[in-house]
Amino acid sequence: MKKITGVLVLSLVLVFVYNSCKKEEKTVSPPDPENEFLTTVQLIITNASDPTDKQTVAVKQMPDEDIDYSDATINLKKNTVYDVSVKFLDETTNPAGDITKDIYDRRNYHLICFNVSGAKLTVERTDKDTNTPALEIGLEDKFTTGDASSGSLNVQLRHQPNAKNGSCEPGSSDADVDFPVNIN
Amino acid sequence: MLLLPALSALAQDCSLDLSGYITDTDTKEKLSGATVLIRETSQFMIAQSNGFYRFERLCPGTYTLVVAHVNCDTLRVVVKLDTTTRQDLQLPHSRKQLETVTITGERKQDIATNAITEIKARQLFSVSGQTLGESLKSIPGLNSIQTGPSVSKPVIHGLHSNRLLILNNGIRQEGQQWGTEHAPEIDPFIASKITVIKGAASVRYGSDAIVGVVLVEPKALNPEKKLQGETNLVAGSNGRAGAVSGLAEGKLTGALNGFNWRMQGTLKRAGNFRTAHYYLKNTGLAEDDFSLGSNYKNKKENFGAEVYYSGFHNKVGIFEGSHVGNVADLDAAFKRERPLTASFFSYDINRTYQDIHHQLLKIASFYKIKNAGKIEAVYAYQKNKRDEYDIDLPYSSDPETLKLPQVSFQIKTHTLDLVYHPEVKNNFTATYGVSGSTQGNVFKGIRYLVPNFRNYGGGAFAIERYTKKKLSVEAGVRYDYRWLRVYKLNNNTLETYYNTHTYQNITGTVGNTYRFNDKFSVSANIGSAWRAPSVNELYINGIHLSAASYEKGDSSLRSERSYNFTLSSRYETNRFFAEIVLYDNIINNFIYAKPALQPITLINGTFPLFNYTQADVNLRGLDLELQYSPVSQLAVNSKVSIVRGWNKDIKDYLVFMPADRLDNTLKYQPGNWHTLQNCYISLQNITVLRQTRVPPNSDYVPPPKGYSLFNVSAGFEHPVKHKIFSVELAAYNVTNVAYRDYLNRFRYYADDLGMNIVLRTKLTF
């Protein structure tokens, strides 16, 4: 009988232990402020022969919201050369965080890839990383337009750790967005 | 101290003989080649061809005989010797009969009419070093779902994860079981026996036992000596893998008489595994596990207590070529003949990897009440920590943030079970129990996956069995209650809010077994089981990275319930064995991720969308095993596993059901050869057909074509003084076939493993 009592006392102690445990789950950890979310792919497009002819377009997606193309349309003049900077932003914070710098710091693992469909547009990357031999990055580019046309430009941020070889194939996409393009 | 008994023995008449015949309990055959060891004196001998053994010049005393034979379970017999004695020994045949379980003194299953299979002794040795999921594939009806070579989960009758319960040393394994890439955090080396119960078993084990239960059971801690144990060494050519596992145990004497102790530990290491034609980059594994146990039994053996602690830790590399950002990447990966990743060998484990810790503390005790039965209390605490590091570093310039895992879960579980087995009376046996549990889950991570939660569960059950002559009948009922509170953060206000869910279910089981004679028996069981929706099914909202899919949970999901009908029959003679299991598992409110018609477009690309929903489904199938020995040295064994999953609501097949599988083995056992015992050589063919029954739009690519693999193995046992040394050399996929398996999620990216040569050794002392 003594032993049954023992078992019961032990059970009660354990039940007590249950309830006295810290309830860590009640503290939901907020997002790490140091971690940046890639919310926006931005193109800053400047006419190479007219610096005042400058436009900024972006495809944006805030957490739990649909993707936003309202500022995404690129309007270009025919037979013109443009200097283009690609930016990646975290707009969940104010002011927006700039992820471009993180990507540039790890430029030997990243490649920006462009695919034009429909429009008469060619894209050349103008920047290089520090791989041997140096490979293109694509954060800085030259757009050259042809005749009037329209279509779309697909921009991908390829993440290629230990695999970058100049082609878009290795690795995976951290960003993959389409910009509508009009050339007039 | 040690010399004393020997000295006192010297004074006695040490000229006694102990001899006898060893026969097989079931077949009454004389067992040639059986080994007999006297624990106390370490004398060892092999029975002659007529099963006769004889020890000479023994002193009077009490001896423990350990009798082993390749076809049989090891038997331990205590003999009190005061005169020359003739002791015939009968060895139980190591078939899956439940009867053998009682003979070896171990506990019967509380529900015995389900289809039950055990893996132990020689069979267990032949799978040592493998993951738990892989180890069980020799059982008809079992499969494994894999994420590359090192992450494998058992599948019973087509289902897995939280529809299958795993008991680690009697305790429900609690981690993040819902993920197909979350393998059970258990070191298979702790087990001396793995029991698989196929069928709904909620009545005894509570929720989640929809298709069955896997019991990973260490040997009872009951050593005969002050120090004994075993060491295992396994080396595999593929992945240049190695595993070392050791176990030491002993009984204490003197003032501490009644106490036993055990220590056990395992180290595993593997590098990049190789398919038929190339290496899989970053598929290494590092694992270190240990367990400590101690128990006490009083002299009357009516009270006992046990403490057990185990720690599991592993770091598993995830194949680099499986990393895809979106569906475009996945499509490109699938179209390639072979992955783009470099093919080389290395032990390095880089990102992507999982780092997992699991700790278990178990405190158990029993008390036998005179003429009233036995009461058991078991408390357990488990802490599971799972960190997953993506291939990408997080976007941050903060060095601390760069070190963080993208996904981190910590779940702590307390369970308390009280079980009462009343005294067997008028052919009635019974088990009554109550159980309670609480669990707290904390999610930290850069990518949101699942919320924090707390749950409380409670249940009570009763099982009665009536056994008389050829018939046994059993019935059981259980009630379960579960309370779940989920804590979430409002991203705008940063305030925590919660949702509460409650679930309650009544489950039952009825079954009977009829033994027509000692060769032929038939069992039938109807059981029900339930499970509450898991937190991912309720609340997941995000990209499943390795599957390139976007999953959305549904917080209004209800409990899943299954009604399982099993009919099994067994026929066994001297030369022939047959077992057939037929089942129909009807699952109502089956929760699954249903493909949506529209994909979802995110900033990182386009993903197919899957919404968690419920449907009524059924899984039907057949497990068949046949064995024939034309002569005692030769055995032909065939196993067939067939399962069909059907969604009754959409009138189509269930996705990811195992394909039909045939496993044929030819085994030659010449017995003893010189000093080597129980020699054998076997040739195995495993043929898996193509899965042709798949619903549309549920998968990216059609199931891979069928394949046929050949495995060869040979082994023996060698007595070295008082130790037994077991060796096996096995070659898997000897023809180095390049193949892909439907249940391996990496089939999108790469072939399955090529040839692997494995050397296993075990020394029992």
**Predicted pLDDT of residue B17:** 86
Task: Name the band, by pLDDT with cuts 50, 70 and 90, for residue B577.
Answer: very high
**Predicted pLDDT of residue B3:** 38
Task: Name the band, by pLDDT with cuts 50, 70 and 90, for residue B5.
Answer: very low
Identify which of B332, B367, B396 has the shortest CB distance to residue A35.
B396
**Predicted pLDDT of residue B101:** 28
Of B91, B126, B155, which one is at a domain's C-terminal end?
B91
The CA dihedral of B362, B245, B229, B105, to the nearest 10 degrees, is 50
The highest-confidence range among B23-32, B75-84, B485-494, B553-562, by mean pLDDT, is: B553-562
- Does the distance separating the beta carbons of B365 and A159 come in below 8 Å? no
**Predicted pLDDT of residue A14:** 63
B712, pLDDT greater than 60: yes
> Percent of chain B beyond pLDDT 90?
58
Of B38, B73, B91, which one is at a domain's C-terminal end?
B91
B95, pLDDT greater than 80: no
Asked, for residue A122, whether it belongs to a domain, the answer is yes
Range B421-444 average pLDDT: 91
Do the beta carbons of residue B731 and residue B715 sit within 8 Å?
Answer: no
Chain A nearest-CA residue for B603 = A175
Q: Å from A51 to nearest chain B CA?
A: 29
Spatial CA neighbour of B273 closest among B339, B337, B336: B339
Over residues B152-176, the pLDDT tens digits come to: 999 999 999 999 999 999 999 999 9
Identify which of B340, B365, B605 has the shortest CB distance to residue A169.
B340
Identify which of B325, B365, B453 has the shortest CB distance to residue A176.
B325
Q: Which residues of A touch B451 (CB under 8 A)?
A: 28
- Comparing A71-75, B547-551, B642-646, the range with the smallest average pLDDT is B547-551
Asked, for residue A161, whether it belongs to a domain, the answer is yes
B1, pLDDT greater than 50: no
Spatial CA neighbour of B372 closest among B418, B419, B421, B417: B421
> What separation in angstroms does the CA of B757 have from each of B237, B683, B731?
5, 14, 4
**Predicted pLDDT of residue B71:** 62
**Predicted pLDDT of residue B660:** 96
Predicted complex: ipTM over 0.95: no
Of B39, B61, B91, which one is at a domain's C-terminal end?
B91
Q: Which residues of A touch B412 (CB under 8 A)?
A: 21
Task: Name the band, by pLDDT with cuts 50, 70 and 90, for residue A135.
Answer: very high
Q: How far apart, in whole angstroms, are the C-alpha atoms of residue B276 and residue B254?
A: 59
Do the beta carbons of residue B526 and residue B517 sit within 8 Å?
Answer: no
Task: Name the band, by pLDDT with cuts 50, 70 and 90, for residue B561.
Answer: very high
Asked, for residue A12, whether it belongs to a domain, the answer is no
Mutate to test the interface with A, among B320, B400, B406, B603 (most CBs of A within 10 A): B603
Q: Which residues of B touch A59 (CB under 8 A)?
A: 603
User: Can you read off the two tokens belonging to residue B299?
Assistant: 């002299």
Range of B71's domain?
A: 3-91
**Predicted pLDDT of residue B73:** 66
B11, pLDDT greater than 60: no
Task: Name the band, by pLDDT with cuts 50, 70 and 90, for residue B7.
Answer: very low
Over residues B675-700, the pLDDT tens digits come to: 888 899 999 999 999 999 999 878 88
- Does the distance separating the beta carbons of A172 and B401 come in below 8 Å? no
- Shared domain check, B75 and B123: no
Do the beta carbons of residue A175 and residue A155 sit within 8 Å?
Answer: yes
CATH classification at residue B11? 2.60.40.1120
Task: Name the band, by pLDDT with cuts 50, 70 and 90, for residue A9.
Answer: low
Q: Å from B535 to nearest chain A CA?
A: 14
Q: Could you tell me where the beta strands, DSSP code E, fall in B390-495?
A: 407-421, 428-445, 452-468, 471-489
pTM comes to 0.84
- Shared domain check, B146 and B15: no
- Shared domain check, B522 and B437: yes
Average pLDDT of every residue of chain A = 88
Q: Å from A50 to nearest chain B CA?
A: 31
Do the beta carbons of residue B314 and residue B356 sit within 8 Å?
Answer: yes
Over residues B245-270, the pLDDT tens digits come to: 999 999 998 888 889 999 999 999 99
Q: How far apart, in whole angstroms, are the C-alpha atoms of residue A137 and residue A156?
A: 12
Spatial CA neighbour of B368 closest among B298, B270, B315: B298
**Predicted pLDDT of residue B102:** 28
Report which of residues B653 and B87 the model is more confident about: B653
Q: Å from A158 to nearest chain B CA?
A: 9
**Chain A to chain B Cβ contacts (< 8 Å):** 144
Q: Is A124 on the interface with B (CB under 8 A)?
A: no
Do the beta carbons of residue B72 and residue B90 sit within 8 Å?
Answer: no
Q: Which residues of B touch A15 (CB under 8 A)?
A: 416, 436
Chain B nearest-CA residue for A90 = B395
- Comparing B581-590, B637-646, B664-673, the range with the smallest average pLDDT is B664-673
Range B453-464 average pLDDT: 94
Q: Is A99 on the interface with B (CB under 8 A)?
A: yes
CATH classification at residue B603? 2.40.170.20
**Predicted pLDDT of residue B97:** 32
Q: Is A154 on the interface with B (CB under 8 A)?
A: no
Spatial CA neighbour of B722 closest among B228, B71, B172, B253: B228
Range B638-648 average pLDDT: 96
Asked, for residue A13, whether it belongs to a domain, the answer is no
- Shared domain check, B209 and B73: no
Identify which of A103, A106, A173 has the shortest CB distance to residue B604.
A173
Place of tokens 């004889």: B54
Range of A124's domain?
A: 40-183
Do the beta carbons of residue B575 and residue B629 sit within 8 Å?
Answer: yes
Q: Is A65 on the interface with B (CB under 8 A)?
A: no
**Predicted pLDDT of residue B10:** 44
Range B293-308 average pLDDT: 92
Mutate to test the interface with B, among A64, A172, A174, A176 (most CBs of B within 10 A): A172
Task: Name the band, by pLDDT with cuts 50, 70 and 90, for residue B103.
Answer: very low
**Predicted pLDDT of residue B34:** 79
Asked, for residue A79, whether it belongs to a domain, the answer is yes
- Shared domain check, B158 and B65: no
- At position B477, the amino acid (one-letter code) is V
If one counts the domains in chain A, the total is: 1
Q: Which residues of B touch A113 (CB under 8 A)?
A: none
Range A126-145 average pLDDT: 94
- Does the distance separating the beta carbons of B351 and A26 come in below 8 Å? no
Q: Is A23 on the interface with B (CB under 8 A)?
A: yes
Q: Which residues of B touch A173 (CB under 8 A)?
A: 325-326, 328-329, 604-605
Do the beta carbons of residue B280 and residue B149 sit within 8 Å?
Answer: yes
- Shared domain check, B607 and B572: yes
Q: Å from B446 to nearest chain A CA?
A: 7
- Shared domain check, B236 and B167: yes
- Shared domain check, B318 and B365: yes
Chain B nearest-CA residue for A42 = B603
Range B628-636 average pLDDT: 91
- Shared domain check, B590 and B728: yes
Asked, for residue A50, whether it belongs to a domain, the answer is yes
- Does the distance separating the beta carbons of B367 and A3 come in below 8 Å? yes
- Does the distance separating the beta carbons of A102 and B401 come in below 8 Å? no
**Predicted pLDDT of residue B202:** 86
Spatial CA neighbour of B351 closest among B315, B396, B390: B390
B531, pLDDT greater than 50: yes
- Shared domain check, B70 and B147: no
Say how many Å lie between the first and final Cα of chain B, rounded.
21
**Predicted pLDDT of residue B676:** 86
If one counts the domains in chain B, the total is: 2
- Shared domain check, B303 and B234: yes
Mutate to test the interface with B, among A19, A35, A102 (most CBs of B within 10 A): A35
Q: Which residues of A touch B414 (CB under 8 A)?
A: 14, 17-18, 21
Over residues B304-343, the pLDDT tens digits come to: 999 999 999 999 999 988 888 778 888 888 888 888 888 9
- Shared domain check, B299 and B321: yes
Q: Is A14 on the interface with B (CB under 8 A)?
A: yes
Q: Which residues of B touch A40 (CB under 8 A)?
A: 603
- Does the distance separating the beta carbons of A35 and B395 come in below 8 Å? yes
B740, pLDDT greater than 90: yes
User: Can you read off the two tokens belonging to residue A31?
Assistant: 């997002």
Q: How far apart, in whole angstroms, are the C-alpha atoms of residue A132 and residue B570?
A: 69
Chain B nearest-CA residue for A21 = B440
